[in-house]
Structure 1
Amino acid sequence: MGALSRMLRGRLSFRFIIMTLALLVLIQSIGFGVVQATVDRYVRGEVQHAITVAERVWNKLLVQNHQRLAEGAELLASDFGFRSAVASRDANTIASALQNSANRIGASVAILVDAQWQLKASSEETMRHFDNVQHLIEALAQTRAKEGEEAYLTALYEGDPTQFVIVPVRAPRVIGYVLMGFAIKPDMIAEASDLSGVELVLMSRSESNSVNVVASSTPLKEHFLRNIPGEYFLEDLLFDLPINDDTFVSMIHGQQVVGGYISLALMESLNEANQQFAELFHQYLFITAMGLVIFAITVTWLSRRVARPLEVLTHATSALQQGDYDVVISGTRREDEVGLLARSFDGMRKSIKQQQDTITKLAYYDPLTGLPNRLSFRNKVANLMRGGQYHSLSVITINLDRFKQVNDVLGYEMGDEILKATASRLLGISCSAHDKLARVSGDEFSVLVLPDSQPAMDVARSLLEKLNEPLEIDHTLIDLSASIGIASWPQDAAGCDGLINASQVAMYAAKKRTEDIVQYKQELMTSTPESLSLLSELRQAVVNHELRVYLQPKVSSQDNRVIAAEALVRWQHPEKGLVPPYQFVPFAEQTGFIRELTKWMIREIAAQWHGLQKGNDTFRVSVNLSTRDLMTTSFPEFLAQTLREYNIPASGLCLEITESAIMDDPSFAEQTLAKLSNMGFRLSIDDFGTGYSSLGYLKRLPVNELKVDQSFVFGMIENNSDRMIVQSTIDLAHNLGLDVVAEGVETEQMYQTLAALGCEEVQGYFIGKPMPVTDFKEWREEWNARHGLK
């Protein structure tokens, strides 16, 4: 197996042969499968046709027997001597006539009953001594009366399915009835099987559950004697029945008769039906095998002719790989595709050596400034760490501020000149010689500081002082500044990559804090492998439907009606269980993934909004928006599209925005809120009183309500200052025409106090905790029932 795998990987010609043969085998297999399926359909069709014919043959035999019985019974009933014997009650003459008539037409039994259906005589004298005969007669009479005089009568007589006919004896009025029965015996089953070519099985089960089987073959009789499911007698079935090593297409007709149940099975062997096609399949397989052999020989010969020149070029390629650029490339004079390939290889051989020097320089040096690049700088730092000559090292990372702005305004050519001038200026400082300085990215430089030179902080100050001097390029004075980060080994990192990364983290911290120089500290590392894993898990949580919507009810403080709910996100982690929001929502806000969470939340609420409505009033659902949502220009259009998709009015949603989100960019926030208000959304200021909002902005914002932060609600009962803040907030909101919602209501006293202060809506654990949507609906019904609401 391993040798075959190596050949498949290594030789094109062998792969070509195998793939071609495999394709041919696949095509032949598909063809074989199509033929097999067609033959199978044909065979099954023929088998079902044969069964249908056999059913007609069987019915014809039954009709013939019925006619013969009816004719014999009528002949006997019309015989003058028999009628006279019946009239005179001559028992011996009647019995003899019944027996002779039954023998003449091959009936199993002949019976005479009077007009009241009482047994008077029979062809078998012993019959009169059995009590169940009278029961049989009465059952046949009832069936005849129910189904008509011409009805086919079938009964179980002495365990055998028996056809009966009933003919009245008139003299001239009806003085009795002749009943003649014909037992269905194996010879009749065999005759029907011979005529139709189909196996027949007649099964019967008496009311005492005794079973009798008559079959056209012994194996079938033995099989059905071992196993006759009850549904065989009650239903019409068509199915495949495995018996021994054969499969029979079986049609079963079950019916209830007098004295029990009978069931007729018509069966045809699939193995016998397929036998006529066996030779065809053998011929097909033989032709296919011969075709594969011939095709394999032909393909192998063609593959060798094509692959041989390529093998020669492969050997030449191996020599080039080993550095032998003087190898002779054969076949360059050929005019075909192989010759073209050989000439291309020869041209490649001549240019590789020239390119090697250029590649080496490009791999380790920046072509713009001539400084070592990131790879070269990293290798130098790593070698110094491994060499053991120094026990500490520092790396300074420098990033030019506003460089992108310079590129956008003055053009990339001017940007390149600035980078070259910056490199020259840095090289002019003794502490950043050419072997210690590198350009590691677009506008980022790194400096290696050894312990035998100045301290890293002093070096950074020298670099910053030099970089803060204005640059004059093409008579243009350019004023740039820089952000600098410092990290040291082994204090801040254990390895080369960690040291360089730590210095970059410090540099980004300096840029973010608008500081000039920042020394690395562990707390600067905001992104960890765990946080990256959390972001990946959050993305999968949305895809795998692991997030859940929880609702916390809002109640009107005036009449206790549940008029709204705040939607909150929960994460049902498959391994960690229910993850609380404080463990992932702040991280989502930090990484920007909060935008996806908000969109998911709004779509989920929209999908379930109609199911939350009750009565004529619109039930609102509140959604929290983050700063990133508010600052996304496409967010209003997303909301409009969602409303259209789910046919929801904008008034059905309330968008809650924190003060801090508004004050990050008041002008842009005001524009976005105006769009949302014009669309019909209800807007709410969340956590009011904890931020730094300006009342000047507040009076211009198109909001509808304020939410008093729970920190004030918690303390308003014990702390009069908090109570005054809550009272002032409510009064301020009412003066501005806004409603007030208080959150964090945990006691009835808080609830009553807020109602007395004029707060319109309240929410908190006293009302209800956040709960899944289904639980919320049940809770609302219980709340309404408890407060006498509909």
Structure 2
Amino acid sequence: MLFFNRLQTRIFAFFVLLIITVLSLSFWLTYQANQRLEQQYVANQLEVASLVFESQYDNRNYYLAAFAATAAKDFGLKDIFIDGDNRSFLVALNNHRSRINASLAMAVSAEGNVIGQLVASQGELGREAVVLGSEQNEVFRYKLGSEFETLSPFYLLDNKLYQIKFSPLTSGGNSVIGWVGFGFLIDDTLANSLQKLTGLNSGFMLTTENNVIAVGHSGLSLPDDETSLLSRYIIEEKTNHDYILWKQFLGEVDGQSLHAYMYKSRSDLLASIESQWLQQVAVLVMMLPVSLLLAFWISGSITRPITQLIAQARFIAQGNYDSSVSVDSSIELQQLATEFTSMQQAILQREKAIAHQAYHDPLTNLGNRNELQRTIEPWLVAGSTMGLCLINIRRMTEINVTLGHAVGDEVIKEVAKRLCEVNPDALAYRLSGDEFVLAFKHCEHQSFDVLLKKLQNQIGQDYRYQDVMLHLQFTAGVSFYQPNVDIVTLLRQADTALQHAKINKRDYQIYDANIDKNSIERFQLINELKVAIEQNQLVLYYQPKLNLAKQKITHVEALVRWNHPARGIIPPDTFIPIAEKTMQMDALTRWVITEAMDQYHRWQLLGINMCIAVNISAENLKDEQFCHWVINALAEHNVPVAAMTLEITEDAVVSDPELAVKQLTLLRKNGLTLSIDDYGTGYSSLAQLKQLPVDELKIDKSFVQKLLENEADQIIVQSTLQLAHNLGLKVVAEGIEDKATLEWLTKLNCEMGQGFYLSRPLPEQQFNDWLGQSDYL
């Protein structure tokens, strides 16, 4: 037992256990990798076999079909065919056959007689011999007419199988006077060619329920055991783990099934991999004794100076950093002892540096969040009338992107310097990239306006870096001390005020409970929107569109509302921006489109034929799968593409014109109607509008609501109508609120109109009731 208590013994035992574990794991991983490699190699071989065969087979088919079509267009061949000079026709037919070295050439008259059948074969001296086929002047075995062109590409003649393609001979108009075809022999030559390309034994078989006939096979002959194997595999659908086998059914030939096959012995195929596996095992076995000897030597060399180092390490652990460490051992361990001594001196410096880094920002050397908390907590305990000013430097991202992070760092340093000079009683901290905090121990609401003006003057001074002049600006949020409030709450309140100032484009905002309430409600809506989409809390309202020429409601616009279980109906302006910022716009739009398709079918049952317009956003166009989903969804729901219109705002196109045009073009090619919504309020140019694959423009309601009172609006609407019509686009005017505006637009040939004069957006049942009583039904 004392033997095992020795450190050297334990170290050696540890190394032995570690070596055995590592070698065992290496052996297992090598074995698993070898198994996966074998499986992958076999799969690759089968895939290669399939691809090679399909390529060869398809190329022969294409070549035969193309050449048959070319020969059928030969006017000389047609003239001889019509004249009835059989000998000359056979000579011409053989000339065509020899051009592609076909093994079989056939010609069939319109009456169904084989008037030409030439069979080519190789003689003993390798010369080609061409003879008349056994079916010469016989009745063709297959029906003529339209079925002739769909014949099986295989033809069995005199126990030889040919891959053949026919083409009709026409005369005058399109009258068929006969057919001409050419074929390649399926035999050992083709099988040998496949074997050279794939490395697998290849061949073809004709099979019935109880019989197998080898048509062609690579090599000299097919062994009996392999014939039996292939028979079971092809006919009985059995497998054999000693071989890898591939087959493909090619078609029926005179009541027999034609199969192509490739196979090889698994052991032959994987011989090289097995050899590598044995070599790897041998290396692992050889490593074991070498590793054990090395472990024994290492354990002995380590333990000798260990005792000295342990004693001196204990001395250092007690806080004695002034002593030196030394051992009588190798150079490396002596260096280790020297490093112990150096470490003692470095520990003191690092402890100070670590403490500083834990509480200070490395770039500006200002206090960080930890330092802020450590400083402020005593103020809160004492109940000081303190305030926090959370400052966000504007356009820092733009500076970093445009001028580089090196310039951005210099700007941050300059801001830190200026903050320290604002007020001697204020403490400056840096929380993150462009966020700072000024903490005031004694500060009240009344005096803070003066401090903020001084802060604006101090920060707002122009800053020149090299040749670049920068005008620094900030947005601030302020929170003040309240009883029973901790530093985390104060920072959150200051951040809430800061975000409110950003949204309302203010320089600063002092925290107010009403601001926080709105933020909490918005946060709750963010969390609840996903559930609302999944649980169908959304509902569609429909606003009718009037066909001004027909004075009939033919279209509606689907507008989504949120029927919140506690807050009631929530308008889209409240939750759609949330959906865009929380990456839920795709799910929301898909719900709206799906519900609109269901609504289409409900109206069809009521005899209402209505086209539904749905709005899509820029986020939808950024998803390349979205357009494919829309197309597939229409097909799955059996909704005609003409019944769906997609409305896109100008801003959605401007954000990424190239991608938007690509997506919209895909939708347009599949028949969907596309509309530019709120036209006139965005930033798209006329050149860009010309390139967009859209069908209609929707004039924004801001130009229509007071159309008859504002001459400028009339000019804009009239020119927009003229522009759209010249581009072949239809126009929808939204915001119609009186009959006079409706009549004015009708006279100018505006295609469609919508607005409160016709109807506000209504839920399904109310819309149905309104439509039933409407004058525009």
TM-score computed with the length of structure 2 as normaliser: 0.44
TM-score computed with the length of structure 1 as normaliser: 0.43
Larger C-alpha radius of gyration, 1 or 2?
1
